Amino acid sequence: MQNDPRFAVNRRQLLTLTGAAGLTGLAAACSGPGTTTAPSSPEGPDTEGPAEGEVSFAHWRAEDKEVFDELIADFESENSGITISQTISTSTDYEAQALRRMRGGEIGDVAPAFRGTQFESFVESGLFVDLSDTDLVSRYNPSLITVGEQDGKQYGFPYQVVFNVPIANMDILESVGVQESPQDWDSYIEMLEAIKAKGITPIAFPGADAGNAGQLFNAMIMNIAPSDDMCTKIQAGEYKLTDDWFIEMLRLYQQLGDYVQPNAGGTAVEPAEQMFATGDAALLSTGSYHIASVRTLGGEFPIDLAPPITSAPGEARYVGIYNATFILGINSASDVQPAAMAWLEYLSTPEIAARYADGTAQFASVQDVEYSNPDLQAIAPWLDKELALAPRYQFTDLDMRLAVEASAVDALTGTDPEQAAEHAQEIVDQRIAAS
Amino acid sequence: MTAAATPSRRRRLFRSNRRVPPTLFLFPVPALVLYVTFFVIPTLQTFQYSTTNWNGYSADYDVLGLANFQRALTGDLLFTNALTNNLKFMVVVVIGQTFLGLLLAVLLVRNTRTTIFLRALYFFPTILSSVSVGFIWKFVYDPNFGVINSTLGALGLDGLKSPFLGAEGQAIYWLAITQIWFHAGMMVVIFIAGLQAIPAELYEAARVDGASKWRQFRSITWPLIAPAMSIVVAYTTIQSFKAFDIVLSISGNPPSSSLDILSTRIYSSFANAEFGYAATQSVLFIAFIAVITFVFRRFLRLIQGSES
């Protein structure tokens, strides 16, 4: 190719061009954060248009995929013109990325939120439409759907109800003369002592898995804290971890340290489940959401709940913990809202909720559901007891929650309670100062 | 061009020869567009976000200046803990991986069937995904069912059993051992390539002069392996800071505080809707890697210079 002087570019022009490109890049980079496309106004859902199109159902419950696949197949056969596709992430990825991915309407025409921080973020960012005026409200248990409310509006419906308290192998408990979970601390410790005397590990505790290890915190704090909004107050700085009641709770944790498997601080959740499923441990400290996997691992014994009651006899405010989560909502950025609403309505019928519940061994918050799963039938009476809504999810600052729960695990695995509390309080104070 | 050309005419001719056909400028454009869009702009934006309290989704945010940097460096125990863990992890991994890699390379440098088989065997973990490695070691370290404690129990050494990842002060070192196991095979390959490039005549001459094996290593191998050593040290340092998926797979998400390193801390801040502060930690993360890599390389040059 010959050089044509009319199109020649000298070094100065080249530098000028490069500089201009750089400045353009810099200007683009300096666009302010948060200037990405905002969703449309999160008023009521669009139900006027035709219910058709491809609906993305984003969630984190990979273990429920098969059950949802069956429900989707039946829904699609009843609603020609609508197809549902599941987009499943791990719960942690969902927690971290769902909001950003759903804001553009890319995925998640129908999507759940975790109770607490994530649900609030979804509502504040305008992601969930207001479902207050839909007839869905009447289909759910009114006492359970408050977690899907904000500023007096109903933005979502918690689909699952779980009991975040230890589950027990009732064959072992009955072998030491315990027919139902003790209702005070001394009886609880007596039960653990009797199990230990039989050469069985009383509690399988997954101390190396922060998320699962933290579940025990719910039951340990529910009766000992001065108020029901204790975690909100810890986060606000109104309660201190160095307060007497909190130190007392850590001392009880320390006492439980004698009844967990050796080196519990290094045990992941899967080996803890294995210990429980094989009968090597009498209790699993996590919650009812592990019943299905214990059955898969071969556990065939009767299972019930065994929350630790930290009070003296007759003084407990609560006898257990529940959590309403998997809060389903409609994405305001969705362009197939009528179809998305049809799918949500389908899930909200008692027959379909029962199929989901039986298939996944999770309770549903839809009203008038009849369970045929034997484990759910065995635990169902707990729904009518005096239960506290899982306090750990009052924390909207995840780092603060982890620091507080870590102090409990530290006390259980041998750290001095006061030292554990002081260290955690220091982190809490720093985060309060930074907020 | 003639020898009699004046200097100014020579400059003009030089410029004229430098003229480039404009169509040639189109060739790098696709690569430049991708680079600017996916690297330059996000990097510059990270610097910008690092001075704000943006939560990652809201349209509103405040510009805080250097307050985020001050918070990370002086008022955040979680960040300080992650940095300390990361430095411990890095030191063990860099030293362990480099010296284990060099030792194995020296032993396996000759091309025989056995050494080739062993090289392939040591390289094998490198081709596994880090998540698989994390899960393998999670069960190796399990205090109740894990192979280490089970073996100790079978040998009657119950006193030596450990909670491993649950031991507050030791967990990060157990993680470092996993990382060394994972990547040492790659370092062996790099070192063997470096060792095989050293002329055999140098060793022959040393042997003729009566030099011992150790003396040969110190005076020939060590100085001449410097380029490979620099690559290994820089690569291992950066890799120690970038470890992320292996931490989450071995420890769960979020990791316990004893296994929290900078990359996982940044991820936790993102997940906690602290986008601006996470960007600040990312900027500090880049700075730490740059400084530490520079210091390591200078140190290596110094000790290898003094040996040679």
Range with lowest mean pLDDT among A39-43, A187-191, B98-102, B289-293: A39-43
**Residue A63's pLDDT is what?**
82
- The more confidently predicted of residues A375 and B254 is A375
Q: Where is A340: in which H helix or E strand?
A: helix A337-347
In a shared domain, residues A133 and A233: no
B111 CB-contact burial (10 Å; exposed 0-12 / middle 13-18 / buried 19+): exposed
Residue A105 contacts by C-beta under 8 Å, 6 or more apart in sequence?
A: A39, A331, A333, A334, A335
pLDDT bracket for residue A428 (50, 70, 90): very high
* Measured distance CA(A14)–CA(A33) in Å, rounded: 32
In angstroms, the first-to-last Cα distance of chain A is: 63
Give the ipTM: 0.81
What is the domain partition of chain B in residue ranges? 67-307
* Cβ of residue B57 closer than 8 Å to a chain A Cβ: yes
Looking at the structure, tell me whether residues A295 and A337 fall in a common domain: no
| Phi, psi angle pair for A263, to nearest 5° | 55, 40
CB interface of A with B, residues 241-270, below 8 Å: 261-269
Q: What is the pLDDT of residue A11?
A: 61
Instruction: Give the whole-number percent of chain A exceeding pLDDT 70.
Output: 90
CA distance A268 to chain B (A): 7
Q: Which residues contact A168 (CB under 8 A, 6 or more apart)?
A: A181, A282, A283, A303, A304, A305, A306
**Which of B15-19, B68-72, B140-144 shows the lowest mean pLDDT across its residues?**
B15-19
Residues A402 and A371 in one domain: no
Q: What is the pLDDT of residue B11?
A: 60
Q: Is the pLDDT of residue B51 over 70?
A: yes
Residue numbers in A near B58 (CB within 8 A) = 34, 124-125
Asked if the C-beta of A99 comes within 8 angstroms of chain B's C-beta atoms, the answer is: yes
Residue A66 structural domain: 53-161+324-378
pLDDT digits (tens, 9 = 90+) for A169-178: 999 999 999 9
Q: Are residues A136 and A187 in the same domain?
A: no
Q: Are B256 and A399 inside 8 Å of each other by CB?
A: no
Give A173-213 pLDDT, tens digit per residue.
999 999 999 999 999 999 999 999 999 999 999 999 988 99
| Cis status of the peptide bond prior to B254, with omega within 30 of 0 | yes
- Is there a single domain that holds both residue A274 and residue A179? yes
The verdict on A237 and A277 lying in the same domain is yes
% residues pLDDT > 90 (chain A): 74
User: A325: helix, coil or strand?
Assistant: strand
Pair (A143, A171) in one structural domain: no
- CA-based nearest residue in chain A for residue B70: A434
Does the structure show a pLDDT above 50 at A1? no
Cα dist. A196→A183, A213, A257, A282, B150 in Å?
Answer: 19, 21, 12, 9, 22
Output the pLDDT for position A28.
Answer: 58
pLDDT-derived band at A102 (thresholds 50, 70, 90) equals confident
Q: CA–CA separation, A305 vs B32, rounded Å?
A: 61
Per-residue pLDDT at B216: 93
Instruction: Indicate whether A228 belongs to any domain.
Output: yes
- What pLDDT does B272 receive? 85
Count of Cβ atoms closer than 10 Å to residue B139 Cβ:
14
Give the distance, in angstroms, between the CA of residue A203 and the centroid of all CA atoms in the same chain: 22
Nearest residue of A to residue B171 by CA position? A266
| A33–B275 C-beta distance less than 8 A | yes
Q: Which residues of B48-86 are buried (b: 16+ CB within 10 A; e: fewer)?
A: bbbbbbbbbbbeebeebeebbbebbeeebbbbebbbebb
Q: Kindly tell me if the per-residue pLDDT of A49 is higher than 80.
A: no
Q: How many domains does chain A have?
A: 2
pLDDT digits (tens, 9 = 90+) for B229-270: 988 998 899 899 989 999 999 988 889 999 999 999 999 998
Question: One-letter amino acid identity for A13?
Answer: Q
Q: What is the pLDDT of residue A23?
A: 67
Chain A residues in contact with B59 by the CB 8 A cut-off are 34-35, 38
Name the β-bridge partners of A161.
Answer: A324, A363
If one compares A34 and B288, the residue with the highest pLDDT of the two is B288
Say how far apart CA A423 and CA B9 lie, in whole Å: 76
Same-domain check for residues A116 and A193 = no
Q: Does one domain contain both A283 and A421? A: yes
pLDDT of residue A182: 96
Q: pLDDT tens across A386-403, in order?
A: 999 999 999 988 899 999
Alpha carbons A48 and A431: distance in angstroms, whole number: 46
| Average pLDDT of chain B, as a whole number | 89
Q: Per-residue confidence at B9, pLDDT binned at 50, 70, 90?
A: low
Task: Residue A43: name the closest of A163, A134, A177 by CA.
Answer: A134
Nearest Cα neighbor of A92 from B136, B61, B253 is B253
Q: d(Cα A91, Cα A58) in Å, to the nearest integer?
A: 11
| Percent of chain B whose pLDDT exceeds 70 | 93
- Reference B67, options B50, B79, B81; nearest CA is B50
More confident residue, B287 or B1: B287
3-class SS of residue A204: strand
Secondary structure (DSSP) of A110-172: EEEE-TTHHHHHHHHTT-BPP-TTSTTGGGB-TTTGGGGEETTEE--EEEEEE--S-EEEHHH
Model confidence pLDDT, tens digit, residues A254-282 = 999 999 999 999 999 999 999 999 999 99
Whether A253 shows a pLDDT value over 70: the answer reads yes
Note whether A8 contacts B78, CB cutoff 8 Å: no
For residues A243 and A347, membership in a common domain is answered with: no
Q: Do A208 and B165 touch (CB under 8 A)?
A: yes
Task: List, for residues A160-170, the tens digit of each pLDDT value.
Answer: 999 999 999 99
Average pLDDT over residues B128-156: 93
User: Which of A97-101, A343-347, B104-108, B157-161 is the least confident region?
Assistant: A97-101
Contact flag B144-A267 (C-beta cutoff 8 Å):
yes
Confidence band, pLDDT 50/70/90 cuts, at residue B58: confident
Q: What is the DSSP string of B247-299?
A: HHHHH-SSPPGGG--HHHHHHHHHHTT-HHHHHHHHHHHHHHHHHHHHHHHHH
Whether B1 has a pLDDT exceeding 80, the answer reads no
Work out the percent of chain B whose per-residue pLDDT is above 90.
Answer: 70
pLDDT confidence bin for B227, thresholds 50/70/90: confident
Q: Do A422 and A296 sit in the same domain of this protein?
A: yes
What residues 33-62 of chain A have any CB closer than 8 A to a CB of chain B?
Answer: 33-35, 38
Say how far apart CA A255 and CA A233 lie, in whole Å: 26
Mutation target to probe the B interface, by most B beta carbons within 10 A, among A117, A399, A435 is A399
Instruction: Say whether pLDDT at A3 is over 80.
Output: no
Mean pLDDT estimate for chain A: 90
Which letter does DSSP use for residue B37 in this model?
I
CATH number of B67-307: 1.10.3720.10
Contact B101, B194 (CB under 8 A): no
Q: Look at residue A41 and tell me whether its pLDDT is greater than 50.
A: no
A positions 292-321 inside 8 Å of B (CB): none
Residue A411 has pLDDT above 60, yes or no: yes
Give CA B217 to chain center in angstroms: 26
Contact B259, B176 (CB under 8 A): no
pLDDT at B81 > cutoff 70: yes
Shortest CA gap A74–chain B (Å): 35
Structure-block tokens of residue A17: 């061009």
Domain CATH code at residue A150: 3.40.190.10
pLDDT in tens, A286-313: 999 899 899 999 999 999 999 999 999 9
| Domain annotation covers residue A174 | yes
Q: Is the pLDDT of residue A425 over 90?
A: yes
Tokens representing A299 are 């556990």
pLDDT at position B253: 81
pLDDT of residue B303: 72
Q: What is the reported pLDDT for B57?
A: 76
Residue B14 binned pLDDT confidence (cut-offs 50, 70, 90): low
Kindly tell me if the per-residue pLDDT of A405 is higher than 60. Answer: yes
Q: Over 60: is that where the pLDDT of B2 sits?
A: no
Same domain (yes/no): A294, A174: yes
